[in-house]
């Protein structure tokens, strides 16, 4: 158990670290999560002035007022006093804004069209999020640091994708409809519905090539592809004849900004102008999964341990003379309270 006195300027904590990997990786940091047993209040702070040995590690956490709490500098207000559960997470990075997760703030993503208009936005991490009702054009996905949010011009990473316009009177009906994309550190998994004729071949071409032969006239298909920063091209073939191309952006992991550890996978459905076939217009869409090590719940094991590497209890005591409940010793008087009977 760790012990501290409320409002001491500096708390010094000695803990054991169960994850042997954490002490050997360069730029290893340790994020403390404190949860109050009584109120459920949750506080975070990075251990400061860390000294990591084989058997134990030493950290400082600093006392501060509520309004001055700061995760990166390890400033925490332990109110209410009492017992707190503490958890220690391993983090890879440096103690600079946007280089490590800040669980009290989220990064955001933003999608804009060619004219710069915001089409959609949200918090990272996004898992299989769908941007709907897209007309033909070029769209840009940007991620922003929690310390520099839009409309700031200082974005971290940017990817572009294209929604093509197709005419069913020229290329026929849409044979593939993408419905889901998820990603991990090394692979991305996509799901789609095919109405291609039996025997047609669905190819994903890139650094590696993947192929699927259609077995039924309507089929729900799931495929897993290795992440590739250059992406893939999805095409449908009838024998050696190319029938149609459906996307050139499936899937890709963008690790171009390694300081931020952003990983994105995007898959698109094109815009179909079906009026020439006496059918309704089918607007385009984009499914994407975007993860960043800067978010509190980032599952990327490269930058943040999924589970705490140390769990314990912290007792925060009140300072002598400043207890919320105080007792005063009864003082004796100079007179007696005897009753005399003559």
CA neighbor of 40 nearest in space, from 101, 7, 85, 106 = 85
CA angle 26, 103, 73 (to 5 degrees): 60
Q: Is residue 325 part of a domain?
A: no
Task: Give the DSSP letter string of 185-253.
Answer: SSEEEEEEEE-PPTT-EEEEESSSEEEEE--SSSEEEEEEEE--TT--EEEEEETTEEEEEEES--S--
Cα 297 to Cα 291: distance, rounded to the nearest angstrom: 9
Task: Work out the pLDDT band at 158, boundaries 50, 70, 90.
Answer: confident
Q: Are residues 80 and 35 in the same domain?
A: yes
Number of separate domains in the chain: 2
Q: Is residue 98 part of a domain?
A: no
Question: Quick one: pLDDT at residue 234?
Answer: 92
14 and 22 Cβ atoms separated by less than 8 Å: no
Question: Quick one: pLDDT at residue 44?
Answer: 94
Question: Quick one: pLDDT at residue 6?
Answer: 85
Q: Is residue 324 part of a domain?
A: no
Task: Give the DSSP letter string of 160-188.
Answer: EEEE-EEEHHHH-S--EEEEEEEE-SSEE
More confident position, 191 or 325: 191
Please provide the average confidence, as pLDDT, over all residues in the chain. 81
Q: Is residue 99 part of a domain?
A: no
Q: Are residues 214 and 277 in the same domain?
A: yes
CA neighbor of 236 nearest in space, from 269, 201, 206 = 201
Hunting for tokens 């949750």 — which residue is that?
A: 42
Q: Are residues 251 and 144 in the same domain?
A: yes
Does 296 have pLDDT greater than 80? no
Q: Is residue 327 part of a domain?
A: no
Q: Are residues 186 and 124 in the same domain?
A: yes
Question: Quick one: pLDDT at residue 297?
Answer: 43
Q: Are residues 154 and 270 in the same domain?
A: yes
Task: Work out the pLDDT band at 334, boundaries 50, 70, 90.
Answer: low
Does 295 have pLDDT greater than 60? no
64 and 44 Cβ atoms separated by less than 8 Å: no
Q: Are residues 245 and 130 in the same domain?
A: yes
Question: Quick one: pLDDT at residue 256?
Answer: 39
Question: Quick one: pLDDT at residue 257?
Answer: 40
Residue 10's domain spans which residues?
2-93+303-317
Average pLDDT, integer, range 293-317: 69
Q: Are residues 89 and 138 in the same domain?
A: no
Q: Are residues 248 and 281 in the same domain?
A: yes
List, for residues 10-58, the tens digit of each pLDDT value. Answer: 999 999 875 544 555 667 889 999 999 999 999 999 999 999 887 788 9
- Radius of gyration of the CA atoms of the chain, in A: 29
Using a CB cutoff of 8 Å and minimum separation of 24, what contacts does 275-279 make? 276/167, 276/168, 276/169, 277/168, 277/169, 277/173, 279/168
Question: Quick one: pLDDT at residue 146?
Answer: 79
Q: Are residues 81 and 160 in the same domain?
A: no
Q: Name the burial class of residue 322, with classes exposed (0-12), middle (13-18) and buried (19+) by CB atoms within 10 angstroms of its CB.
A: exposed
State the CATH number of the domain containing residue 64: 2.60.40.10
Q: Is residue 298 part of a domain?
A: no
80 and 43 Cβ atoms separated by less than 8 Å: no
Q: Are residues 198 and 284 in the same domain?
A: yes
Q: Is residue 129 part of a domain?
A: yes
Q: Are residues 117 and 212 in the same domain?
A: yes
Q: Are residues 157 and 187 in the same domain?
A: yes
Which range has the worst mean pLDDT, 137-146, 152-161, 254-263? 254-263
The model's pTM: 0.70
Torsion 135-234-261-128 (CA) sign? positive
Does 182 have pLDDT greater than 70? yes
217 and 197 Cβ atoms separated by less than 8 Å: yes
Q: Is residue 342 part of a domain?
A: no
CA neighbor of 271 nearest in space, from 78, 179, 137 = 137
């Amino acid at each position: 158990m760790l012990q501290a006195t409320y409002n001491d300027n500096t708390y010094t904590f000695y803990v054991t670290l169960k994850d042997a990997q954490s002490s050997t990786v360069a730029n290893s940091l340790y994020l403390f999560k404190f949860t109050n047993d009584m109120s459920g209040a949750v506080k975070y702070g990075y251990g400061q002035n860390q000294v990591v040995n084989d058997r134990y590690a030493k950290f400082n956490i600093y006392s501060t007022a509520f309004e001055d709490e700061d995760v990166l500098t390890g400033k925490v207000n332990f109110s209410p006093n009492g017992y707190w559960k503490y958890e220690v997470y391993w983090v890879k990075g440096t103690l600079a804004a946007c280089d490590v997760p800040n669980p009290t703030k989220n990064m955001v993503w933003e999608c804009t069209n060619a004219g710069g208009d915001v089409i959609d936005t949200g918090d990272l991490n996004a898992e299989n999020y769908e941007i709907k009702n897209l007309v033909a054009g070029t769209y840009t996905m940007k991620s922003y640091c929690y310390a520099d949010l839009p409309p700031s011009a200082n974005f971290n990473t940017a990817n572009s994708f294209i929604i093509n316009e197709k005419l069913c009177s020229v290329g026929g009906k849409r044979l593939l409809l993408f419905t889901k994309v998820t990603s991990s550190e090394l692979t991305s998994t996509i799901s789609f519905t095919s109405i291609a004729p039996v025997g047609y071949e669905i190819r994903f071409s890139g650094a590696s090539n993947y192929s699927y032969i259609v077995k039924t006239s309507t089929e729900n298909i799931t495929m897993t592809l290795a992440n590739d920063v250059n992406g893939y091209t999805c095409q449908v073939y009838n024998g050696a004849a190319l029938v149609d191309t459906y996307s050139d952006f499936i899937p890709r992991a963008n690790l171009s900004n390694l300081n931020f550890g952003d990983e994105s996978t995007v898959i698109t459905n094109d815009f179909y102008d079906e009026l020439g076939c006496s059918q309704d217009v089918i607007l385009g869409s984009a499914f994407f999964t975007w993860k960043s090590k800067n978010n509190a719940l980032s599952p990327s094991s490269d930058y943040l341990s999924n589970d705490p590497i140390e769990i314990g209890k912290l007792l925060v005591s009140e300072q002598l003379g400043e207890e919320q409940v105080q007792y005063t010793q009864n003082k004796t008087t100079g007179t007696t309270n005897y009753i005399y009977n003559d």
